[in-house]
Amino acid sequence: MARFQEYIDVMTDAQTCYEKWVCFEDFPRFMKHVRSVTPLGANMWHWIVDGPLGKTIEWDAVMDGNEPNRIISWHSVGENDIGTEGVITFQEIAPSLTRITSSIQFETPAGPLGELIAGMFSNPSQMVKEDLRNFKDLMESNRFAVKIPAPSLNY
């Protein structure tokens, strides 16, 4: 199981950061590998991410911890392409300055699929850094206020 932790400081209060983060359907706006996060009910979400060789990777996750403006935790459930769990924390370190910390671990299946998925996540720390940086950019530029339509996949 791979484990990693990254953080970023965002020039916004913790409540605002938390409120934007829990809009999981917006993750594709700042997580470039995430295709969609769809609610399934009862704090459960279905994830689809871009994988290697044009394939997608899917899993279901349940939010098992939620302290508004402070912490969100989750873990994957059921039969999935990938096992994952993690915690996101929001710590206001100064007025209108929030440290967001992402602590994630994941486990890939064995065999050829596992090798492909592991290759995709060969530098998960860098991927999370980019996602956090993109979130920071959206928050500090106030671009979260503007909904960007999803690209059309019709050809």
Flag whether 28 is in a domain: no
> How many domains are contained in the chain?
1
Q: What's this model's pTM, rounded to 2 decimal places?
A: 0.82
Q: Is 107 exposed, middle or buried (0-12, 13-18, 19+ CB in 10 A)?
A: middle
Q: Spell out the per-residue pLDDT of the chain, length 155, in tens.
A: 678 899 999 999 999 999 999 999 999 999 998 999 999 988 999 999 887 777 888 899 999 999 999 999 999 998 776 788 999 999 999 999 999 999 998 776 555 555 555 555 556 778 889 999 999 999 999 876 655 444 444 43
- Structural domain including 93 reads 2-23+63-144
According to the model, what pLDDT value does residue 155 have? 35
Closest C-alpha among 104, 136, 149, 134 to residue 30:
134
CATH number at residue 140: 3.30.530.20
Write out the H or E segment, with its range, that includes residue 140.
Answer: helix 124-141
Evaluate whether residue 90 is within a structural domain. Answer: yes
